[in-house]
Amino acid sequence: MRAIMRVLLIEDDELVRSALSETLDGNGFEVDGLANAEDALILLGAGQVPDVLVTDVNLGPGLDGFDLAELARARHPDVEVILISGTTPDLARRATGRHERFLQKPFEPEQLAAKIREAGAERGA
């Protein structure tokens, strides 16, 4: 039997975070939803390692999703990352590795669930 995939969702918009968390939970994922990168780093530092980190690129003041992805992978190199954004970030400027995917907003929550499954399959979760 497959283990439940753990997803860490970082989204500063409370309504979006809530809707995505609910859908992902309904798809059988274990979801921790947080509003900012700083809270996510506290969780990651406490040994809470997700299978997949889903983060908005633009998180308001403080660290952005790119920064969070980089710091998360520095601590946990095998974590899969899905970046989401309503704007098109300049991905060419960033070192997007094999553990990174991008999903353009708006998207259906089911599209995110499919991306997470894809990332988990690649990771072997």
**Structural domain contains residue 95:** yes
Confirm whether 51 is domain-assigned.
yes
Q: How far apart are CA 63 and CA 66, in angstroms?
A: 8
Q: Residue 3: pLDDT above 80?
A: no
Q: How many domains does the chain have?
A: 1
Residue 64 lies in a domain: yes
- Report yes or no on 121 lying in a domain: no
**Residue partners of 121: CB distance under 8 A and separation at least 6:** none
pLDDT in tens, 38-93: 999 999 988 888 999 999 999 988 999 999 999 999 988 889 999 998 887 666 45
Taking the CA atoms of residue 60, residue 101, residue 69 and residue 74 in that order, the dihedral angle to the nearest 10 degrees is -170
d(C-alpha 7, C-alpha 49), whole Å: 9
11: closest CA among 30, 34, 40, 31?
A: 34
pLDDT of residue 1: 41
- Residue 27 sits in a domain whose CATH number is 3.40.50.2300
> pTM for this structure?
0.90
| Burial of residue 108, with CB atoms counted within 10 A of its CB: 0-12 exposed, 13-18 middle, 19 or more buried | exposed
Is position 7 within any domain?
A: no
101 within 8 A of 111, measured Cβ to Cβ = no
Is residue 123 assigned to a domain? no
* Per-residue model confidence (pLDDT) at position 56: 94
96 pLDDT higher than 70? no
Supply the range of the domain harboring residue 71: 13-106
Residue 6 lies inside a defined structural domain of this protein: no
